Amino acid sequence: MQVKPASAPTPPNDGTRQLLRCGGSIVATGVLAGVLLVTVLGGVTRTGAHSNSGWFALILVLGCLPFGGLLLTLGVAKWLRNRRLANRR
């Protein structure tokens, strides 16, 4: 049985927190734009949004959700990897 030292060194800043923070905020922006699109900005049909601001919200949703989702997925993967490496020490 190995005993871990009381003060383990902190890992170097590898960008995990930034990925999680930015990915989460971009996904939240996309979700908020989607909710506003459906509730306040006139909704969306097969042919698109009903207003100019609805189109803008639709563009935000279609840009933010995939990009933010990828950033968030990468951040979670790095966080899990860092956690696994910390448990090995």
Residue 26, pLDDT score: 97
User: What global pTM score does this model have?
Assistant: 0.80
Average pLDDT of span 20-39: 96
Residue 89, pLDDT score: 78
Per-residue three-class SS string for the chain:
CCCCCCCCCCCCCCCHHHHHHHHHHHHHHHHHHHHHHHHCCCCEECCEECCHHHHHHHHHHHHHHHHHHHHHHHHHHHHHHHHHHHHHC
CA distance 76 to 66: 15
Confidence of residue 7 (pLDDT cuts 50, 70, 90): low
> What ranges do the domains of the chain cover?
16-88
